[in-house]
Structure 1
Amino acid sequence: MPLPQENKKYTYADYLTWPEEERWEIIDGVPYMQASPTWQHQALSRELLTQFSNYLKDKPCQVFAAPFDLRIPCGNEKDEHTTNVFQPDILVVCDKKGLKGTGYYGVPSLIIEISSPSTARRDRVLKFNRYENAGVKEYWIVEPEGNFVNVFILQDNKRYGRPEAYTEENKVKVSIFPDLIIDLAPVFGSI
């Protein structure tokens, strides 16, 4: 892919022409290249994915992990015109009709981002705002460097409330599944 042009908004149609071996996200039409995740990032992701996967077995919702092309439309955007293409670390989809190709077109029920110094701004500001505006019911930001998790829950389908903060000693009750509790000890114990 040539260097992104200033003042050009990129779409999912553009994204599909880029080299498959490169990892990209597009937020509000602006492309961001993704670095390969660290082993610690991968270990955290694996442990979270395992707990969600075990719970969701034989249930209607499904859990997915990156690489996974999440396209969240703004308004009535068609899939190929979407200017928001994310690679969340983990997401839960309960409405399967948006599953197609290499990901999902729509709004997942839960998203987890494992933050790093290079992605912190995007995770805490750009993605936070996009996920909130789209109506993602639950958004987790996992911080490997401090061994803590901030969980944001959508209030009245409008805005995220004050974050609930957890450390490696805690268990997180998942709001979208009242009987699911994620144990953070093995998650952070993996790094």
Structure 2
Amino acid sequence: MKRLGKVYSGPYTLRAKAQGNAREPDIFAVMQNNPRQETGKEFIGAADVVVEVISDDSLFRDRVTKFDEYEAAGVREYRLIAPRPERQRADSYVLDADAGRYRPASLEADRIFRSTVLPGFWLDVDWLWQESPNVAEIYETIRRGN
């Protein structure tokens, strides 16, 4: 695997702007060339990719508050996963650098999302809804690139 950057998860916090709110995304990735400041268990600056798994009590915070914060700070990809059985949904947004606004990232016909930030990384959205996904098999599939 290439050494492109670091992946973080809780209890590591993200403060997208120096004086902004401290957030604890489910997962976030920071590329090596990202100008950042790390202090203990906190990352200060815009991460390159943020993934949030939405729960009933975080719906507004993840879809509105954090969306606006991450967009304003320059987080390049923002992914939201809502795993509720009655309404499974995965949304991805990519920052339009010229406009400074998120635009929805479309899935390919085979329900594949390809990252614009992490070279070679893609995700079959259907994997998110599998009862007992085989993580090793998924990893190997992504690693092979097919």
| TM-score calculated relative to the size of structure 1 | 0.59
Relative to structure 1, is the Cα distance of residues 97 and 136 closer, same or farther in structure 2, using a 3 angstrom cutoff? closer
| Closer, same or farther: CA 181–86 of 1 in aligned 2, 3 Å | same
Candidates 21, 26, 30, aligned match of 1:84: 21
**Counterpart in 2 of 1:160?**
102
1:142 aligns with 2:81: yes
Alpha-carbon displacement from aligned partner over 1:34-90 (angstroms, at most 9, x marks no partner): xxxxxxxxxxxxxxxxxxxxxxx43131111122111122xxx4xxxx241000011
User: Which amino acid is 1:159 matched to?
Assistant: R
Root-mean-square deviation (CA, aligned residues, Å) is 2.0
2:7 corresponds to 1:63: yes
Q: Judging changes above 3 Å, is the alpha-carbon distance between structure 1 residues 60 and 177 closer, same or farther for their aligned structure 2 residues?
A: closer
Could you report, residue by residue, the CA deviation over 1:109-141 in whole angstroms, capped at 9, with x for unpaired residues?
010110011100000110000000001111011
What are the ranges of 5 or more consecutive residues in structure 1 without an aligned counterpart? Answer: 1-56
Across the two proteins, how many residue pairs are aligned to each other?
125
Aligned-residue sequence identity (percent) comes to: 26
The residue type paired with residue 132 of structure 1 is E
Query: What SS does the aligned partner of 1:59 have?
Result: coil
Unpaired segments ≥5 residues, structure 2: 133-146
Spell out the pairing of 1:105-144 with structure 2 (5 A cutoff).
105-144=44-83
TM-score normalised by structure 2 residue count: 0.76
Query: How far apart, CA to CA, are the structure 1 residues paired with 2:35 and 2:43?
Result: 8
